[in-house]
Amino acid sequence: MYKVYIYLRKSRKDIEQERKAAEGGNGYDTLERHRQQLLKIARERDFEIVEILDEIVSGEYILDRPVMQQLIRKVEANTVDAVLVMDLDRLGRGDMSDQGIIDRVFRLSSTKIITPSEDYDPTSDSWELVFGIKSLVAREELKAISKRLLRGRRQSATEGKHIGSRPPYGYLRDDDLKLYHNPDTAWVVKKIFELALNGYGRKRICLELDRLGIPSPRGKTWGEATVRQIQNNEVYIGSIIWGTKKYTKIDGKYVQKQLPRDQWIIHENAHEPIVEPELFKELQESISNRYNASVPQNNELRNPLAGVLKCDLCDSVIKYTKPPKRNKGYMHCRNPNCKQRTASFSIVEQKVLNGLREIVADFKLKKEMLKKEQKKDTDITEVKERAIQAKQKELDELSKQKSNLHDLLERGVYDIDTFISRQSNINERAQSIESTIELLKNEIDNNAKQQDTYENFLPKIESVIESYYNTIDINKKNRLLKSVLEKATFYRDHTHTKKDEFIIKLYPRI
């Protein structure tokens, strides 16, 4: 009897067919259809179904599909004889790197791939040729589909149609993908441009829109980034622009490259503008002049807490500012809607260093306590190791029960659905035991790591504190803090009236 995994995944074509069927009132679930077909094959060929793996995500690459990654790890462990799947390309039709992974994993584990129409044996002499040709055909088919989609998008853009996932703020979209004014929000876009041309900065615009009770596009308070996106978007002067960036996938991650404007697809007068082109151009020039005038000549780091200190309320960056008329700088939350009060930079800096000293003192105390309780810790470790052994015996017993299930399946006492249900129950219990074993092992490891922390991290913090006071280089101070801190948080509300009354929390990089 073959032990098999069943792997189910929708293709782009399946998703499109499901959508059309649903629109016609005959909706169905592709995965359920495929599941019934593969279960029938397993029943007819007397396969032992170890697990059914449903891939909800329809990604082109293996790195985009977590269940496929799980399947690969399981196949690598050589736990089954075959994988039952609707088509070979359901496993993947990504680039040659992906195909190489699938080929290597199945070949080295001698795991067969079985489809309703054909069996693929990686140990056969013809495997490399057959798999290579099938993979190439699948890949070329995917390329053809992608090119058709790309051509369709380019054509829609040249026709002045909006092909984004949702219409821009201030617009609605008709059935022909043409934009028209949203009476509820178009006036807000006009308001943003009017305020900007009247000298309002983005932060002040956000405060004004929040004061008027206008929800942002995300339904929350307004942010400067949202205002900037609206101010720079040429869709508001009636233009549809597509293809401003090129995306390339490298090692499973998309890398974007900004394309020059002469390579963009631009359709002017595609819809009714919200903002006059002259006003849009005037604002861009105003922003550009304002930015150029405000760019500091000295771009050196001025704040050793940069990238370290965050707001405890909204997790925004705590920013350093030193007005020209003040002798000292102060720290404040970057979020204009946050209720945090400001604090003197020098006091904040000192509290961070004092916090590091407290960590040192605390570590030293725990280190001494650990030495005194080493014998006790050893006893606890032995108890946990015995518990792991007991749990392992429970796992062995569940393994026997699973074997009995297979016997009942062979004799026809259980149908396939009952078998999967009973087996699922055993697997859940086994997973629970395995989680407990993993937890106990982690606790044993953590005790060892704790000792290592006291021996190694403690002198590192002491060295950072000493070096911090012995340098005036802001960049070096910043690197020192980042070497021992994941982050620090700042909290100060209206109840903190004294200048040094606020809360700093440190998160060591242990």
Q: Is 314 within a domain? A: no
Task: Answer yes or no: is 84 within a domain.
Answer: yes
User: Which of 155, 190, 221 is the last residue in one of the domains?
Assistant: 155
Q: Residue 65: its pLDDT value, please?
A: 84
Please tell me the distance from the alpha carbon of residue 330 to that of residue 490, in angstroms, as a whole number: 13
Ranges 87-101, 120-134, 293-307: which has the least confidence: 293-307
Does residue 319 form part of some domain? no
> Which residues have CB under 8 Å from 64's CB, separation 6+?
57, 252
Residue 353 lies in a domain: yes
User: What global pTM score does this model have?
Assistant: 0.41
CATH number at residue 266: 3.90.1750.20
Does 433 lie in the same domain as 354? yes
Distance separating alpha carbons of residues 170 and 272, to the nearest angstrom? 11
- Strand, coil or helix: what is 427? helix
d(CA 326, CA 342): 14
Do 191 and 135 share a structural domain? no
Q: Which domain holds residue 243?
A: 171-292
pLDDT of residue 339: 82
> 365 and 283 share a domain?
no
Same domain for 33 and 133?
yes
Strand, coil or helix: what is 257?
strand
Structural domain ending residue among the three candidates 122, 155, 188: 155
Render 6-22 in DSSP notation, one character per residue: EEEE--HHHHHHHHHHH
pLDDT at residue 297 in the model: 47
pLDDT top residue among 325 and 332: 332
In a domain, 298, yes or no: no
Query: What CATH number does residue 111 fall under?
Result: 3.40.50.1390
Q: What total number of domains does the chain contain?
A: 3
Q: Are residues 421 and 362 in the same domain?
A: yes
* 247 and 356 inside one domain: no
Is 286 found in the same domain as 139? no
Q: How many helices (H) and strands (E) are present in the chain, helices listed first?
A: 13, 17
Task: Let me know if residue 301 belongs to a domain.
Answer: no
Give the tens place of pLDDT for each residue, 226-255: 999 999 999 999 998 888 877 665 555 557
* ∠ Cα 42 44 50 (to 5°): 20
Q: Which long-range contacts (CB under 8 A, 24 or more apart) does 460-467 make?
A: 460/484, 461/356, 461/359, 461/360, 461/363, 461/508, 462/360, 464/356, 465/353, 465/356, 465/357, 465/360
Q: Are residue 495 and residue 367 in the same domain, yes or no? A: yes
Determine what percent of the chain is predicted with pLDDT higher than 70: 86
Residues 10 and 150 in one domain: yes
pLDDT at residue number 295: 45
Contact 300, 474 (CB under 8 A): yes
pLDDT at position 196 over 80: yes
The domain boundary, picked from 292, 321, 337, lies at: 292
**141 plus 212 within the same structural domain:** no
Cβ–Cβ < 8 Å for 13, 59: no
Per-residue pLDDT reduced to its tens digit, 460-498: 888 999 999 999 999 999 999 999 999 999 999 888 888
Same domain, 150 and 9: yes
For residue 321, tell me if it sits in a domain.
Answer: no
The answer on 256 and 381 residing in a single domain is: no
Find out whether 107 and 122 touch, Cβ atoms under 8 Å.
yes
Do the beta carbons of residue 52 and residue 35 sit within 8 Å?
Answer: yes
